[in-house]
Amino acid sequence: MMGGIYTTRPIKEIGSKAFRRLLKGREIAVSSHALDHIERKERKIFKEEELIRIAGKDNPRKCHLQENGRYSAYYRKPGGYTKIVIELENDNAVIVSFMNVIELPKIR
């Protein structure tokens, strides 16, 4: 950690079953700014309901605890993965960001 700033760097791999247990019983929501960084045409593809469905029902291929305390989960899709970043808040799991990536990250 440099200068006290927490990053999105993955620090610990979490098994998909352990990650699913973290989400169990929590209401999954999408933060108000999670869709802000994508183009309007992509918003038709990535609707809130679709992100909630993926996070709540699909099994991720890989999950990490990030240095900032959030979790990143990678879900297989044609041509790569959808990375969903989730923050756990009491009884809620909030999707704070998502992006399409080509490959899975490695922890160093």
Q: Who has greater pLDDT, 72 or 3?
A: 72
More confident residue, 31 or 47: 31
Confidence of residue 2 (pLDDT cuts 50, 70, 90): very low
- Domains for the chain: give ranges and CATH numbers: 24-101 (3.30.2310)
How high is the pLDDT of residue 40? 58
Residue with tokens 């989730």: 86
Supply 55's token pair. 């996070």
Q: How far apart are CA 71 and CA 11, in angstroms?
A: 10
pLDDT digits (tens, 9 = 90+) for 34-92: 776 655 555 555 578 889 999 999 999 999 999 999 999 999 999 899 999 999 999 99
Identify the pLDDT of residue 49: 86
What is the model's pLDDT at position 3? 47
pLDDT of residue 38: 59
Segment 92-103 shows an average pLDDT of 91
**pTM (2 d.p.):** 0.84
pLDDT of amino acid 100: 86
SS3 labels along 26-93: CEEEECCCCCCCCCHHHHHHCCHHHHHHHHHHCCCCEEEEECCCCEEEEEEECCEEEEEEEEEECCEE
The two three-digit tokens of residue 54, written as one number:
């993926």
